[in-house]
Amino acid sequence: MSNVLVVLSSVRKGRAADNIFDLVKKDLDARDGVHIVVADLKEINLPFFAHELTPASPDYIPTDPAVIEWGKLVTDADAIVWLTPEYNHSLNAVQKNAIDSLKNEWIDKPITIVGYGWSGGSLSIAALDHILPWLKADYKHNPAELAFMKDINPDGTIIDEASVTAQIKATIDEIA
Ligand SMILES: Cc1cc2nc3c(=O)[nH]c(=O)nc-3n(C[C@H](O)[C@H](O)[C@H](O)COP(=O)(O)O)c2cc1C
């Protein structure tokens, strides 16, 4: 049994992330031996990173319960499916803060990406292209890029089922 952590990184009311999650869950549910764990950053509600030490420091010991919970979810995951919306041609601040709040937890962690937005989240993915290798994650660069008005509606519901299913399958195959 492998624990696959699915990260929802939007905290907006009415977010498309919930419908994108359903598409990812459908793929994962069809695979043998997968236990889905959800990290909903809206529920975890991490504080903005403000520790006096960098998480890379051996003396960095988080005390905030939300940071501890987040670190445990990442540590315990065998692989991660990261849902990434694009805000202003990059990651939203919630994603970057969640990444910045940890350090060694990312090393060798298999991570694959499902982007969504007007250009499939391509510029959010481009930011992760820099960040995840720097953190020495086992970054699988074969993202799903779900484009509004082509693959999915702006609320995350499906338009082109064949395209969406194939893209999500291909990116999750990377961590299977
Ligand atoms: C502050 C903000 C900036 C945005 N900037 C972009 C953008 O640069 N590119 C894009 O494709 N979509 C952009 N969008 C649209 C989002 O992709 C869209 O709202 C999407 O549904 C966000 O995911 P969520 O609903 O799960 O939060 C932006 C949305 C917000 C709220």
Question: Which residue out of 87, 89, 92, 114 has the highest number of ligand 1 atoms within 8 Å of its CB and is therefore the one to mutate?
Answer: 87
What are 75-90's pLDDT values in tens digits? Answer: 999 999 999 999 999 9
CA-CA distance, 110 to 133, in Å (whole number)? 11
DSSP tag of 73: H
* Residue 87 and residue 17 in contact, taking contact as beta carbons nearer than 8 Å: no
Residue 1: band (very low, low, confident or very high) from pLDDT cuts 50, 70, 90: low
9 CB within 6 A, ligand 1: no
Q: Is the shortest distance between the CB of 115 and ligand 1 below 6 Å?
A: no
The angle formed by the CA atoms of residues 8, 139 and 118, to the nearest 5 degrees, is 50
- List helix spans (H) across 4-151: 17-29, 41-44, 65-76, 93-100, 122-134
CB 152 less than 6 A from any atom of ligand 1: no
pLDDT > 70: percent of the chain: 99
Domains of the chain: 2-173 (3.40.50.360)
pLDDT tens, position by position, 4-53: 999 999 999 999 999 999 999 999 999 999 999 999 999 999 999 999 99
**How would you class 83 by CB atoms within 10 Å of its CB: exposed for 0-12, middle for 13-18, buried for 19 or more?**
buried
Task: Say yes or no: CB of residue 16 within 6 Å of ligand 1.
Answer: yes
Structure tokens at 171: 């990116």
Asked if residue 176 has pLDDT above 90, the reply is no
Pick 116 or 176 by higher pLDDT. 116
Say what the pLDDT of residue 170 is.
Answer: 98
In ligand 1, the atom with minimum distance to the C-alpha of 85 is 23
CA dist 35 and 77 (Å) reads 10
Whether the CB-CB separation of 95 and 42 falls below 8 Å is answered with no
Ligand 1, residues 9, 15, 86: which to mutate, most atoms within 8 A of Cβ?
Answer: 86
Name the residue with tokens 């520790």. 51
Q: Whose CA is nearest to atom 4 of ligand 1?
A: 87
Using alpha carbons, list the distances in angstroms from residue 70 to 23, 38, 42, 46, 87: 23, 11, 12, 8, 22
The whole-number average pLDDT for the span 93-98 is 98
Q: How far is the centre of ligand 1, averaged over its atoms, from the C-alpha of 85 (Å)? A: 6
Q: What would the pLDDT profile of 147-172 be if each residue is shown by its tens digit?
A: 999 999 999 999 999 999 999 999 99
Question: How many whole angstroms from 48 Cα to the centroid of ligand 1?
Answer: 21
